Structure 1
Amino acid sequence: MNRFFILVVFFCICSCDYFDKKKVYPEDLLEEELQTFNWKDVDEYPSFESCDSATGKENKKICFENTLRSILNTSLARHQIIVSEDINDTIQLKITIDKQGQFFIDDIVSSALTKTEIPELDSLLRRSLDSLPKIYPAIKRSQQVTTKFVLPVIIAID
């Protein structure tokens, strides 16, 4: 009986750890979640109404970029640009779309030759994108978010 009593006391002492509740702090949960969070990717890219029929995240992105390029091409085709040298350059448009769907051109990066030959190119590009159709902002975890990206635009003038 004495051995039985010692064995029960031993199990009771050892089992106390199983009943001990660990306190979970919300800050710790938030920190852990933020570590696993991919800040460079969105669940849905910005889009135009015309891209609603596209399925899949990548297809919507392609549709959005192609729509922007199409608007740029149409607008730039209205202008007669005269150059002394042939230009074949890829311009980088650094773009921001805020969480309200407002479109901003942050910077336009082009070669020195392109800037020399077409000094008004920056203003032409900015005016081309002034009257865009309604843009739906990007979505990350069911929240509208601001996105920044680079849109390459090829300029080829002979």
Structure 2
Amino acid sequence: MKPFCVFLFVLMLTSCEYFNVKKTSSEAILKEELQTFNWNDVDEYPSFSECDSLSIKEDKKGCFESVLTLHIWDFLKKEKLIVSQDIRDTMLLQFQVTKEGDLHLIGVKMDSITSQEIPNMNNLLHQSLDSLPKIFPAIKRAQQVTTEFKLPVIINVN
């Protein structure tokens, strides 16, 4: 009987741990919720005012990219580019749209022939972005967020 009482006493001492309620801080809850977000996707992509009439998310994204591409293309078309050889290149432009709606050109990947023939291409691209219409930033969970994206631009100069 004595061993049974000792066993029961030890069981009672250790079982009290199972009834303790662990408190979770608000920081821990926030940290756990932030880990569940898909940060690579946003609820609404950056947009121009002419894309506001579209309601489907992918259509708005396509509209934004086409307006931006058309704006860059129109600017470069007005420039008198003189080259010694034909250029057919697809430049990959990396952009960032801040949560305030500012567009920044982060990087440009282009063929070495393009950079050799048009050494001021980076400056021309930056100038083309100066006259863009107002950009509305991307939205994630009802908050304006900074986003980055890549945009291919085809250059064809004869």
* SS at structure 1 position matched to 2:81: coil
* SS at structure 2 position matched to 1:114: helix
Runs of 4+ with deviation above 6 angstroms: none
Q: Could you tell me which residue of structure 2 aligns to residue 76 of structure 1?
A: 76
Q: Could you tell me which residue of structure 1 aligns to residue 66 of structure 2?
A: 66
Q: Which amino acid aligns with 2:150?
A: V
Q: Which amino acid aligns with 2:65?
A: E
Range with bigger deviation, 81-90 or 66-75: 81-90
Q: Could you tell me which residue of structure 2 aligns to residue 55 of structure 1?
A: 55
| Offset, 1:97 | 0.9
For the residues of structure 1 that align with 2:69 and 2:133, how far apart are their CA atoms? 13
Query: Does 1:39 pair with 2:39?
Result: yes
Query: Does 1:112 pair with 2:112?
Result: yes
| Offset, 1:45 | 0.4
For the residues of structure 2 that align with 1:57 and 1:51, how far apart are their CA atoms? 10
Query: Does 1:93 pair with 2:66?
Result: no
- Normalising by structure 2, what TM-score? 0.82
For the residues of structure 1 that align with 2:62 and 2:150, how far apart are their CA atoms? 13
For the residues of structure 1 that align with 2:79 and 2:25, how far apart are their CA atoms? 62
| Offset, 1:21 | 5.5
Gaps of 5+ in 1: 1-12
- Normalising by structure 1, what TM-score? 0.82
Identity of aligned residues (%): 52
Residue correspondence of structure 1 range 20-31 to structure 2 within 5 A? 23-31=23-31
| Offset, 1:26 | 2.4
Q: For residues 57-90 of structure 1, give each alpha carbon's deviation from its aligned partner in whole angstroms, at most 9, with x where no partner exists.
A: 1110000000001111111111121222221111
For the residues of structure 2 that align with 1:88 and 1:128, how far apart are their CA atoms? 20
Q: For residues 27-72 of structure 1, give each alpha carbon's deviation from its aligned partner in whole angstroms, at most 9, with x where no partner exists.
A: 3322321221111111100000000011211110000000001111
Q: Could you tell me which residue of structure 1 aligns to residue 141 of structure 2?
A: 141
RMSD of aligned Cα (Å): 2.0
For the residues of structure 2 that align with 1:129 and 1:20, how far apart are their CA atoms? 60
